[in-house]
Structure 1
Amino acid sequence: MNREQISGIAHRDHPIKSPLDDDSVRRLLERGLPSGDERVLDLGCGGGEWLLRALATRPDLHAEGVDISEDALAEARQAAGRLGVEERLVLHHQEAADFASPEPFDLVLSVGATHAFGGLLPTLAAARKHLTPSGRVLIGEGFWDRSPSPEAVEMFGDLADLATTVDQVVADGWTPVHGHVSTRRELDDYEWACWGSLASWAVDHPADPDSAHVLATATDRRTEWLRTYRDSWGFVSLVLCQTPG
């Protein structure tokens, strides 16, 4: 079983692949899509969960998603068909960093996918290329809520604390118009859902040749969370406008 298949099982019970609950996702989309007829781009859309939620409640919205996973994009197409929004969704199978469009977008999304661009500020630079002058960006990024262990830094990279993260965004020419810091409940619910779903699959499929590997992965990831980063890692989602001038 490859990494993508394991991820699919892990997110079975938590389709938003970030520590956000349904109310938080809804509020973030409301702030990012104030008129409801925007053109939206998701850089690293995965299975299109953000786009599908936006399309399902905004009949005048049009969306495009970019991802390198053929399987995830196939799932997005199937889900769009079930929702009846497939005519308003365009999906691109390619590296998000290489995507180009002749038309700009009113909202550019990249939540939990900044690694694809090499970090927060490179992701914002990529988003700016696709944005209308009055458009918005919805971005999600990790930060250090407390001083991390060396093991946590090795796992997540050179993150900043929350205040410094926001300062970096502002210094880069962006104005935050909304933000959400994932709560302890959202963070814990996400981790329990991911590693619990993996463990449950392994227990329910004892004869599968991948069962032992999946169970070991669930155990290892749960232990890393509890012992390495649970008390230090946080997640912030920001809705940003380009600073005038």
Structure 2
Amino acid sequence: MNREHISQIAHAGHPIKSPLDDDSVSRLLEAGLPRGDERVLDLGCGTAEWLLRALATRPHLHAEGVDVSEVALMHARQATSELGVDERLVLHQREAADFTSAEPFDLVISVGATHAFGGLLPTLAAAREHLAPGGRVLLGESFWDRTPSPAAVEMFGDLADLATTVDLVVADGWTPVHGHVSTRAELDAYEWACWGSLAAWALDHPADPAAAQVLETANAQRSQWLHGYRDSFGFVCLVLRRASD
């Protein structure tokens, strides 16, 4: 079983692929979409869960999503059809860094996808290219909440702490107008949901040729979390505006 299908199973019970509960997602969307009729772009949209939630509650919204995953976009299109928002959502299968559009967007979302651009500041530079005057960016980024273990650094790389992460954003010409740091409950709930969903699938499908692989992945990932990065990993979402706008 490939990584895309494993990810699909892992996130079956937590479709927002970040450590955020439903209330946090709603508040972030409210801060990013103050009018409710914006044009929205999600760079690295996955199954387009952010966009689908926004479209479901804002009937005048139009959105576009970009992702490389055929599997994720297939599920996004199915959900789009079920919600009846086909005419308001366009999905593009391509590298987020290569996406271009003739029209700007009022909100650009990139949550947990800075790796697609090579880091935090390149992600903000890409978002700026798509942003309409006065627009907003909803950015989600990892940080070290405490000094990480060598194993954690090997998994996630050389992340900054929270203060440094925000300082880098501000120094790049952005002003945070809303923010949310994932709580311990959100971080734990996300990890338990992902690796629990994988383990449950393997136990429910013992005859599947991939069952042993999936269960091994679930056990290994849960162990890496508990022993490697649970005490040091953090996640922050920021709603940003350009200081010059």
Aligned to 2:51: 51
Q: Deviations over 1:60-101 (max 9, x none)?
A: 000000001112111111111111111000011110000000
Q: Amino acid of the residue matched to residue 25 of structure 2?
A: V
Matched residue SS, 1:185:
helix
Q: Deviations over 1:7-30 (max 9, x none)?
A: 000000000000000000000000
Aligned to 1:42: 42
Aligned to 2:64: 64
Aligned to 2:84: 84
Aligned to 1:179: 179
Aligned to 2:224: 224
Aligned to 1:113: 113
Q: Amino acid of the residue matched to residue 41 of structure 1?
A: L
How far apart are the structure 1 equivalents of 2:173 and 2:218?
Answer: 40
Q: CA deviation at 1:240?
A: 0.2
Q: CA deviation at 1:204?
A: 0.6
In the TM superposition, 1:159-178 aligns within 5 A as 159-178=159-178
State TM-score, norm by structure 2. Answer: 0.99
Q: CA deviation at 1:154?
A: 1.1
How far apart are the structure 1 equivalents of 2:52 and 2:90?
Answer: 11
Q: CA deviation at 1:224?
A: 0.2
State TM-score, norm by structure 1. Answer: 0.99
How far apart are the structure 2 equivalents of 1:14 and 1:78?
Answer: 17
Q: Deviations over 1:17-67 (max 9, x none)?
A: 000000000000000000000000000000000000000000000000000
Matched residue SS, 1:164:
helix
Aligned to 2:75: 75
Matched residue SS, 1:100:
coil
In the TM superposition, 1:24-39 aligns within 5 A as 24-39=24-39
How far apart are the structure 2 equivalents of 1:67 and 1:167?
Answer: 29
Q: Amino acid of the residue matched to residue 27 of structure 2?
A: R
RMSD after superposition: 0.7
- Equivalenced residues, count: 245
Structure 1 residue 148 corresponds to structure 2 residue 173? no
Aligned to 1:196: 196
How far apart are the structure 2 equivalents of 1:146 and 1:225?
Answer: 15
Contact preservation (8 Å) 2:46, 2:67: yes
Aligned to 1:136: 136
Matched residue SS, 2:47:
coil
Matched residue SS, 1:54:
helix
Structure 1 residue 207 corresponds to structure 2 residue 207? yes
Q: Deviations over 1:196-220 (max 9, x none)?
A: 0000001111111111100000000
Contact preservation (8 Å) 2:5, 2:71: no
Matched residue SS, 1:121:
helix
Q: Deviations over 1:107-127 (max 9, x none)?
A: 000001111011111101100
Matched residue SS, 1:212:
helix
Aligned to 1:103: 103
How far apart are the structure 2 equivalents of 1:225 and 1:131?
Answer: 36
Uncovered stretches (5+) of structure 1, i.e. residues with no partner = none
Aligned to 1:240: 240
Moved more, 212-221 or 65-74: 65-74
